[in-house]
Structure 1
Amino acid sequence: MENLKGYNEIELPKWKRIRLKDISIPEFKEYNNLDIPKISGLNIKNMSENEDLNKYTKYLKVDEEFGVDKNLVKLTEKYSNSGVIIDLERDQKINEPIRLDFNMDSENSLVLDHNLIIANENSKATVVMNYTSNEESFHNGLTKVYAKENSHITIIKVQMMDSTSNNFDSNIAFVGRDAKVNFISVELGSKISSSSFITNLKEDKAQADLKSIYFADNEMGLDLEYTMNHFGRRCLTNIETKGALKDKSRKVFRGNLDFKKGSTRSKGVEAEYVILLDKEVKSDAIPALICGEDDVEGEHAASAGQINELKLFYLMSRGLSEKDAKKMIVEASFRPIIDLIPFEDLREKIEDNIDRRLTDEY
Structure 2
Amino acid sequence: MSVETKGLFGKEQIESFSNGRNEPDWVRDIRLKGLEISESAELPKPDKTKIDKWTFTQTRFDMNAKPKATSVKALPEGLQSLIGEETDEQNLYVQQDTSAVYTKTNAELAEKGVIFTDIQTALEKHADLVKPYLFGEAVKPQENKLTGLHAALLNGGTFIYVPKNVQVEVPLQAVFSLETPEAILSNHVIVVAEENSSVTYVENYTSNVDGNVAANIIAEVYAKANAKVAFGAVDNFGSNVTTYVVRRAHVGKDARIDWALGQMNDGNTVSENTTHLVGDGSWADTKTVSVGRGEQKQNFTTQIFHHGKHSEGHILKHGVMREAATSIFNGITKIEHGATKSNGVQTERVLMLSEKARGDANPILLIDEDDVTAGHAASVGQVDPLQMFYLMSRGISRKEAERLVIHGFLAPVVEQLPIESVKERLREAIEGKVR
**TM-score w.r.t. structure 2 length?**
0.75
Query: 2:187 matched to 1:103?
Result: no
Q: Which amino acid aligns with 2:102?
A: D
Amino acid at match of 2:167: K
Residue 170 of structure 1: SS of its match in structure 2?
A: strand
Q: Distance in 1 between matches of 2:141 and 2:153?
A: 16
Q: Is 1:188 aligned to residue 264 of structure 2?
A: yes
* Structure-2 separation of matches of 1:108 and 1:120: 39
Contact between 1:174 and 1:200, CA under 8 Å: does it hold in 2?
yes
Question: In the alignment, which residue of structure 2 is the partner of 1:17?
Answer: 49
Alignment of 1:41-120 (within 5 A): 41=109, 42-50=114-122, 51=124, 52-62=126-136, 70-106=144-180, 109-120=183-194
- What is the CA distance between 1:264 and its match in structure 2? 0.7
- Report the Cα offset of residue 293 of structure 1: 0.3
**Secondary structure of 1:113 counterpart:** strand
Q: Which residues in structure 2 correspond to 1:250-269 (within 5 Å)?
A: 250-269=326-345
CA contact (8 A) 1:214 1:242 kept: yes
Which is greater in Rg?
A: 2
Name the CA distance, whole Å, in 2 between partners of 1:280 and 1:19. Answer: 20
**Rounded Cα–Cα distance in structure 2 between residues aligned with 1:237 and 1:252:** 21
CA change 1:316–1:300 in 2 (3 A) is same
Aligned-residue CA RMSD (Å)? 2.6
2:318 is matched with 242
The superposition leaves residues 268-306 of structure 1 with CA deviations (integer Å, 9 ceiling, x where unpaired) of 111111110111122222221001100111111111111
Q: Which residue of 1 aligns with 2:346?
A: 270
Render the CA deviation track for 1:310-348: whole Å, top value 9, x for unaligned: 43343334332333222112112223444537565x655
Higher mean alpha-carbon deviation, 27-36 vs 253-262, is at 27-36
Structure 1 stretches lacking a partner, 5+ long = none
Instruction: Find the residue that maps to 2:133 and give its secondary structure.
Output: helix
- Closer, same or farther in 2 for the Cα pair 1:161/1:175, shift >3 Å? same
Distance in 1 (alpha carbons) for counterparts of 2:370 and 2:287 = 27
The answer to whether the 8 A contact 1:18-1:221 is kept is no
Q: Is this contact kept in 2: 1:18–1:223, CA < 8 A? A: no
Q: Which amino acid aligns with 2:233?
A: K
Q: What SS does structure 2 have at the residue aligned with 1:351?
A: helix
Higher helix share: 2
1:133 to 190, 200, 207: 207
Structure 2 stretches lacking a partner, 5+ long: 1-16, 19-27, 64-97
Separation (CA, whole Å) in 2 of partners of 1:179 and 1:111 = 31
* Alpha-carbon distance, 1:17 to partner: 2.2
Q: Residue 350 of structure 2 contacts residue 361 of structure 2 at CA under 8 Å; is this kept in 1?
A: no
**Equivalent residues in 2 for 1:1-362 (5 A)?**
1-2=17-18, 6=35, 9=39, 12=43, 17=49, 21-27=53-59, 28-30=61-63, 31-33=98-100, 35-40=102-107, 41=109, 42-50=114-122, 51=124, 52-62=126-136, 70-106=144-180, 109-135=183-209, 136-339=212-415, 340=417, 342=419, 350-359=426-435
C-alpha distance in structure 1 between counterparts of 2:284 and 2:390, whole Å: 37
How many residue pairs get matched?
358
Q: Which moved more, 1:301-310 or 1:223-232?
A: 301-310
User: Percent identity, aligned pairs only?
Assistant: 26
Alignment partners' CA distance in 1, 2:330 and 2:140: 14
What amino acid sits opposite 2:174 in the alignment? Answer: L
1 CA distance for matches of 2:344 and 2:261? 19
Counterpart amino acid of residue 228 in structure 1: I
